[in-house]
């Protein structure tokens, strides 16, 4: 497997794949931290091929590109480029022609479908606006995903895209593909809410997109600084990837044991230089309070009534990637 050329002229996170360093007839290539695989579904076998002077690097003719020669005689056309991780597709150049590969001044439709796992993230098409002359950009048409098929698609997270053509676009070549690692966090959080009622903590949240996500950890704190894990919720995204809104919820007993745990945690986090007798006295008071409250038929409710006007607890979500990396949601204050 060969490494694709990375252009130094682009901004740091953008990577240009011009295929020039690849061997002819390969169907996979490495670029940056990703490995891409080409698979053909209809209209011939797509792979990297070499025809000197017939490609387009984005600024000048080049020699290697992906195409479906020599079997370019059928429509519809469909091939897929899949990565082993998520990415943003920024732009690419397509050469769209009849089966001879010589006439770009013909009619047809191009459709680009971006997917994240099994989720369709975008479905873009055009039937006009293509380059009609080989004297301009060697006949290649620029597809800029900031504007093609709508705005903002260059920021959407995908792990594959399909190229489909109909009409007279029987020969298709792809060159100068620009991509970048996801510009957003692995999980884009929607609303996060939490409340405590009748001795139960209820946390609800949504995600707008997920990439390589494994699970969520619901965490609580009495001061917004020291956090303890309250529970874990697995991702609903297939294989950790989703481009649609997903809703989640968590419910757990928020009784005096939990409150005592927070108190003891805060106590244990006191600096070691504190008076040990004072620490022991506070610990005994906490234990006594727990025992006393446990004797009440509705101790939590009583505590809630006494402290809701002055005290809050804090809740947040830790999102855990498949590789163990964590990111966090906003912190939500909850009245006890």
**All structural domains of the chain with their residue ranges:** 15-180, 187-335
Residue that is written with structure tokens 């995600």 in the block = 207
Q: What is residue 55's predicted lDDT score, i.e. its pLDDT?
A: 98
User: Tens place of pLDDT for every residue, the chain, 336 residues?
Assistant: 344 443 333 343 799 999 999 999 999 999 998 999 999 999 899 999 999 999 999 999 999 999 998 877 778 999 999 999 889 999 999 999 998 888 899 999 999 999 988 889 899 999 999 999 999 999 999 999 999 999 889 988 889 999 999 999 999 999 999 999 876 677 889 999 999 888 889 999 999 888 889 999 999 988 888 899 999 999 999 888 887 889 999 998 875 445 545 544 444 545 544 566 555 555 555 445 444 444 433 433 433 443 344 478 899 999 998 878 888 999 999 986
* Torsion angle, alpha carbons of 48, 54, 59, 65, to 10: -10
Q: What is residue 276's predicted lDDT score, i.e. its pLDDT?
A: 62
For residues 60 and 56, give the distance between their C-alpha atoms in angstroms, rounded to a whole number.
6
Residue 318 bridge partners (DSSP): 217, 328
For residues 247 and 243, give the distance between their C-alpha atoms in angstroms, rounded to a whole number.
13
List CB contacts of 225: < 8 A, sequence separation 6 or more: none
In CATH terms, the fold of domain 187-335 is Immunoglobulin-like (2.60.40)
Q: What is residue 278's predicted lDDT score, i.e. its pLDDT?
A: 56
Q: What is residue 183's predicted lDDT score, i.e. its pLDDT?
A: 63
Residue 140 bridge partners (DSSP): 95
For residues 114 and 242, give the distance between their C-alpha atoms in angstroms, rounded to a whole number.
12
Report the top-level CATH class of 15-180: mainly beta
Q: What is residue 181's predicted lDDT score, i.e. its pLDDT?
A: 86
15-180 and 187-335 agree in CATH topology: no
Q: What is residue 112's predicted lDDT score, i.e. its pLDDT?
A: 98
Q: What is residue 284's predicted lDDT score, i.e. its pLDDT?
A: 53
For residues 92 and 1, give the distance between their C-alpha atoms in angstroms, rounded to a whole number.
22
Max Cα-Cα span within the chain: 90
Task: Identify whether the C-beta of residue 51 lies closer than 8 Å to the C-beta of residue 81.
Answer: no
Q: Environment class of residue 322 by beta-carbon count within 10 Å: exposed (0-12), middle (13-18) or buried (19+)?
A: middle
Task: Identify whether the C-beta of residue 179 lies closer than 8 Å to the C-beta of residue 30.
Answer: no
Q: What is residue 253's predicted lDDT score, i.e. its pLDDT?
A: 82
Q: What is residue 318's predicted lDDT score, i.e. its pLDDT?
A: 95
Interior angle at CA 91, CA 87 and CA 96, nearest 5: 125
């Amino acid at each position: 497997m060969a490494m694709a050329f990375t252009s130094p002229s682009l901004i740091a996170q953008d990577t240009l794949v011009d295929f020039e360093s690849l061997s002819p007839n390969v169907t996979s290539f490495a670029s940056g931290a990703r490995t891409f695989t080409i698979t053909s579904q209809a209209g011939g076998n797509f792979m990297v091929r070499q025809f000197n002077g017939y490609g387009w690097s984005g600024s000048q003719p080049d020699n290697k590109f992906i195409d479906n020669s020599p079997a370019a005689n059928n429509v519809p056309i469909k091939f897929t480029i899949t990565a082993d991780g998520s990415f943003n597709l920024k732009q690419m150049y397509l050469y769209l022609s009849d089966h001879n590969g010589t006439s770009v001044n013909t009619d047809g439709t191009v459709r680009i479908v971006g997917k994240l796992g099994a989720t369709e993230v975008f479905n873009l098409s055009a039937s006009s606006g293509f380059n009609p002359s080989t004297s301009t950009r060697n006949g290649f048409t620029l597809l800029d995903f900031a504007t093609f098929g709508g705005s903002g698609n260059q920021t959407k997270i995908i792990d594959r895209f399909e190229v489909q053509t109909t009409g007279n676009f029987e020969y298709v070549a792809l060159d100068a593909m620009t991509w970048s690692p996801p510009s957003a966090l692995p999980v884009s959080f929607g609303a996060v809410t939490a409340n405590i009622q009748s001795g139960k903590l209820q946390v609800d949240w949504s995600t707008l997109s997920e990439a390589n996500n494994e699970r969520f950890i619901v965490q609580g704190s009495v001061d917004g600084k020291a956090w303890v894990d309250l529970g874990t919720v697995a991702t609903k995204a297939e294989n950790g990837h989703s481009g649609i809104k997903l809703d989640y919820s968590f419910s757990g007993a928020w009784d005096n044991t939990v409150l005592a745990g927070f108190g003891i945690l805060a106590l244990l986090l006191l600096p070691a230089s504190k008076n040990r007798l004072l620490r022991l006295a506070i610990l005994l008071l906490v234990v006594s309070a727990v025992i006393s409250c446990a004797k009440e038929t509705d101790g939590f409710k009583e505590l809630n009534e006494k402290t809701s006007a002055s005290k809050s607890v804090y809740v947040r979500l830790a999102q855990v990637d498949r590789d163990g990396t964590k990111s966090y949601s906003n912190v939500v204050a909850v009245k006890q």
